[in-house]
Amino acid sequence: MDSDLIDIHRTLVIIKPDAVQRGLVGEVVRRFEHKGLKLVGLKLFNLPSEKAKELYQPHHGKSFYNYLIEFMTSSPIVAICLEGVNAIDIVRMINGATKPTEAQPGSIRGDYSIDITRNVVHASDSVENAARELAILFDPSELNEYQRIDDGILYSPEC
Ligand code: CMP
């Protein structure tokens, strides 16, 4: 496969502390798996403060920044690396809009969140940010290369 030609992307998803506390991990992972996205890395852990600050560095200085860091380090998160054709855009569509008033029913945030910070999931918003964010949360040895048994039926032969 030539990933440049067919845009196979890897992206970071974080299942946030609110969703882990509410028992939504299985429901969130189910949506990505059933779409056809491949689980490449997955782990549950307490996000260290320095990693949270690195991850959310682009938001440093915004009014919600301190609260966001406090929340993201308050209890365990699940970090996931997903892979698939156009995975970055597809995951953002499955997650739904950040603002609770804009997240469509059927999306994860539209169905499960009502707060802009406690909004169940985070996902990378570009190829560059996905690479940056994955490097913060995953060691390369934690990312798994394998064929899913349904790859042959999920994708057209030219993929
Ligand atoms: P996330 O996808 O994790 O990326 C940055 C996070 O900042 C975002 O989801 C929200 O949880 C949070 N955020 C963005 N805008 C606001 C805001 N206006 N007020 C509070 N939190 C926000």
Residue extents of the structural domains in the chain: 8-146
Instruction: Assign domain 8-146 to its CATH architecture.
Output: 2-Layer Sandwich (3.30)
**Confidence band, pLDDT 50/70/90 cuts, at residue 156:** confident
- Torsion angles phi and psi, residue 15, rounded to 5: -85, 115
Between residues 35 and 4, which one has the greater pLDDT? Answer: 35
pLDDT at 1: 42
End-to-end CA distance of the chain: 7
What is the tens place of the pLDDT at every residue in 107-136?
999 999 999 999 999 999 999 999 999 999
Ligand 1 centroid to 151 CA: how many Å? 34
Does the structure show a pLDDT above 70 at 12?
A: yes
What is the tens place of the pLDDT at every residue in 65-105?
999 999 999 999 999 999 999 999 999 999 999 999 999 99
Ligand 1 centroid to 38 CA: how many Å? 26
Residue nearest ligand 1's atom 19 by CA: 64
Cα maximum dimension of the chain: 49
Does the structure show a pLDDT above 50 at 150?
A: yes
